[in-house]
Structure 1
Amino acid sequence: MPVFRTDEWLIKAGEKPIELCKKLAPYFHDARPHEIFAHLTKHGMYRSANGLKQVVKEMKEKRIWEDVVKIYAILMKQWNGPDIPVFIFPADWRNRKLLREFNSKGGLAYRNKLFLFLLPHHTKKEIEAVITHEYNHVCRLAKLTKKEEDYTLLDAIILEGLAENAVNEYVGASYKANWTTYYSEKQLETFWQRYILPYHSIHSTHPLYDRLLYGLNFYPKMLGYAVGYHLINRCLQKKTANLEKLMSLTSEQIVQLTDWDVS
């Protein structure tokens, strides 16, 4: 499947994002264009057409679409991963949280498609990092037998932990997300016992799910992400399994390799 030339879509319909999302409707089961737009913007896609033409122009000049094609091909071969469609759109350059936590880049991964949200200022290594993170999600999801509605909080934090350890291993430690360094090992083990373990089996519809995963309200920021990174990093340091092996294990099996309780 191709890396779609969404730059051409953006030039034609970028100022009317609902029209743009009509092109994506075939890739979403029973979702309307405005629902697709709301979903993508929630995860980091641009919201406003103000300044969009200039952003797309600069992204084209930086040859971002061409760079993604090359990186995607390498990762697909490296992990023997699925060949899925990839869509690139500008990130929300006005989103302060996206700027603070991810330097205004992001993505959204599914078993059968991948979205990347980027901006002209991102370097090739930054782009490699975000593709590595998101495509690792795709490969992990392809190995899971669970239905999407059955994914738990534990599944989500393991998913994020695997992906950012992949960035650390394949792209470099200096390209890891800021949230991997927020807390000490002792703090993270406390967070696991106090916040994650009692709710590790909740699903995305539970009111605490997003709060614990992202560290919202009074919870430590990026809580679930940080704990997930530490869990996987602990396994790798103990040399109980390499990253590729961990990607094939269930979330519960991974936790057991850390000697942490998941009962």
Structure 2
Amino acid sequence: MAILSMREILEKSITARSFSDFKALLDVNDNTLMELYAAGLLPLNELTEGHLQTWIANQYEKRAHTEWMALHKEWKGSDASVIVLPAHHALKRWAKHTDGATAYCLPADAKVFLFLPIKNSEKVPIRTLLTHEYHHVCRWEQLQRKGALFSLLERMVQEGLATKASEERGEARWRVDEMYPPLSKREKSLVQKQIDLKMDGFSEKSTVVMYGNGRKWPRLLGYRAGIQMVREYYIDHSWNIRKSFSISAGDILSHSSFNAQM
């Protein structure tokens, strides 16, 4: 599979002011649709005909298709559906490093969503976003084959590996460092305590650790920890994309400064 075009179904939905066909095409329920809104999708009831025509003129689907074909050929990875949709206007403020774009994936369903701004920008990092989310899909497939548990540690490591994959395909390291600064000693200690709990990666608390909450948990703590663990691991190991899909999170941890045994 490849790019799943949304153009016709969005045009039809706007005219009818009904989005049931849109949800059916994506094969998502209301809860998943809310996840997509939280990840950056422009609420469908805010999408106007003018917005859509401007967005279509950007030829994002064509650009995403080109990137997808190159990525899939390079990695020889899993099949996936890539779905390109309009991004919420607010992303211009809180996703400034990606020029108002963001992405999300449903790895169990092999679906990657790219939320791209209505106003065209050649700076939108489609390659980086697609690489990052597709890595999650490929790694998820391997973990399921091995019957591995999805722990908080795995959730952190997978973000670090996906970021590393993006860097290997051209993402600037300085941009990553701006978005995900290294952890302080106190922050590192917080992470180590949670790793010891072997927390379920799907739990509410693990999500707080990953994203932060502005109080006890610093912003993007889990993401930053995963990136740091993976960087430390690859100081003494060579990068191999195929191995990155299946290497255990425990192996990454054991070769990092987050390992309590060190």
Which of 17, 20, 28 is matched with 2:19 structurally?
A: 17
Which position in structure 2 is the counterpart of 1:105?
A: 101
- Name stretches of at least 5 consecutive residues in structure 2 with no aligned partner: none
Equivalent residues of 1:17, 1:37 under 8 A apart: no
Aligned-residue offset at 1:232 = 1.2
Aligned-residue offset at 1:78 = 1.1
Q: What secondary structure, in the 3-state scheme, does the structure 2 residue paired with 1:254 have? A: helix
Please give the per-residue CA displacement for 1:21-64, whole angstroms capped at 9, x wherever unaligned.
12222xx5xxx3x2332121122211153354333322322211
Q: Percent identity?
A: 20
Which position in structure 2 is the counterpart of 1:53?
A: 49
Which position in structure 2 is the counterpart of 1:210?
A: 207
Aligned-residue offset at 1:180 = 4.1
Aligned-residue offset at 1:173 = 0.7
- After superposition, residues 177-256 of structure 1 pair within 5 angstroms as 177=176, 180-183=179-182, 187=184, 190-192=186-188, 194-200=189-195, 201-218=198-215, 219-236=217-234, 238-244=235-241, 245-256=243-254
Moved more, 208-217 or 243-252: 243-252
Which position in structure 1 is the counterpart of 2:73?
A: 77
Which position in structure 1 is the counterpart of 2:82?
A: 86
2:114 partner amino acid: L
Aligned-residue offset at 1:161 = 0.9
Aligned-residue offset at 1:102 = 4.6
Aligned-residue offset at 1:2 = 2.8
Measure the CA separation in 1 of the matches of 2:190 and 2:147.
23
1:61 partner amino acid: A
Measure the CA separation in 2 of the matches of 1:180 and 1:94.
17
Change (3 A) 1:83 1:175: farther
Figure out how many residues of one structure are paired with residues of the other and give that number: 252
Which position in structure 1 is the counterpart of 2:34?
A: 38
Change (3 A) 1:64 1:175: farther
Equivalent residues of 2:158, 2:226 under 8 A apart: yes
Which position in structure 2 is the counterpart of 1:169?
A: 168
Measure the CA separation in 1 of the matches of 2:186 and 2:123.
37
Measure the CA separation in 2 of the matches of 1:234 and 1:155.
16
1:152 partner amino acid: S
Change (3 A) 1:2 1:183: closer
Which position in structure 1 is the counterpart of 2:8?
A: 8
TM-score (ref. length: structure 1): 0.83
2:87 partner amino acid: A
- Name stretches of at least 5 consecutive residues in structure 1 with no aligned partner: none
Please give the per-residue CA displacement for 1:106-134, whole angstroms capped at 9, x wherever unaligned.
22221422211111434266111111111
Q: What secondary structure, in the 3-state scheme, does the structure 2 residue paired with 1:23 have? A: helix
Which position in structure 2 is the counterpart of 1:258?
A: 256
